[in-house]
Chains A and B, each alone.
Chain A
């Protein structure tokens, strides 16, 4: 059965720290991986990754995909309290038209 596993489950850091969130997957014929940030509302889209080794970057957030080892990481540098949220990753197999979500990593950034 296809599955997506995120680690760690939760993380507490101080402002200014750098964090790395992990997403590993076991899906048949991987197509794409999405990262989302969810605060007390609906998930907000961050990145889509389809090719291995290409880094996607937006400000202090960046993500990379390793299709051979079946994982992705999301890096956040110089964390701020506003980064506190649950970070979700989701993976799609071609032809299924559905994304399978991991359970998320809860990040708390202390001032």
Chain B
């Protein structure tokens, strides 16, 4: 069974631009979570989607948004990029609702110049 896939794998943007990242979960998984990973803050929860509904959102500004489609694929968008948004963005999918094992994709490395 194919794992979680994320595109693109690497991205370089400049301040003020916006970016869209994509995540395709493991087949049959309906829950998708997004995390931001930085050296200083570790893994920080961004949001979680299940059946196209956002069930929770982390403490990030409104510039960070996401959505999930009917096929469980998910996108996250960051508008008006700031230097501090440079990070590894990880997506994880789960089959069960709770308790649930989460399986991570390879991540998208975003660099903001």
**Chain A residues with a Cβ under 8 A of chain B:** 31-32, 34, 36, 41-45, 48, 50, 88, 90, 92, 94-104
B-to-A contact residues, CB < 8 Å: 31, 33, 35, 42-45, 48, 50, 55-56, 58, 90, 98-107
**What B residues does A90 contact at CB under 8 A?**
43, 102
Q: Could you say which of B42, B48, B90, B102 contacts A45, with CB atoms under 8 Å apart?
A: B102
Given A34-B102, A92-B98, A99-B33; A42-B107 close (CB under 8 Å) = yes
B90 A43 Cβ-Cβ under 8 A: yes
Contact B99 A32 (CB under 8 A): yes
* Cβ–Cβ < 8 Å partners of B105 in chain A: 42
Q: What separation, in Å, do the CA atoms of A45 and B35 have in the docked complex?
A: 15
| Contact for B101 among A34, A41, A94, A96, CB less than 8 A | A34
Q: Is the CB of B102 within 8 A of A99?
A: yes
Q: Chain A residues with Cβ under 8 A from B35's Cβ?
A: 101
B94: min CB distance to chain A, Å: 9
Contacts of B33 in A (CB 8 A): 97-99
Judge whether B90 and A48 touch: CB under 8 Å.
no
A-B contact pairs, 16 of them (CB 8 A): A41-B107, A43-B104, A45-B101, A45-B102, A45-B103, A45-B104, A48-B101, A88-B43, A90-B102, A95-B98, A97-B33, A97-B55, A98-B48, A98-B58, A101-B43, A101-B45
Query: In whole angstroms, how far apart are the Cα atoms of A45 and B100 in the complex?
Result: 12
**B104 lies within 8 A of A42 (CB):** yes
Give the docked Cα–Cα distance between A98 and B99 (Å).
11
Residues of B within 8 A of A95 (CB): 98
Q: Which residues of B contact A48 (CB under 8 A)?
A: 99, 101
What's the Cα separation between A90 and B109 when bound, in Å?
A: 22
Contact of B106 among A34, A41, A97 (CB under 8 A): A41
User: Which residues of chain B come closer than 8 Å to A92, judged between CB atoms?
Assistant: 98-100
B74 → A minimal CB distance (Å): 14
CB pair A97 B98 closer than 8 Å: yes
Contacts A31-B98, A31-B99, A92-B99 given: A42-B90 contact, CB under 8 Å? yes
Q: How far is the CB of A7 from chain B (nearest CB, A)?
A: 14
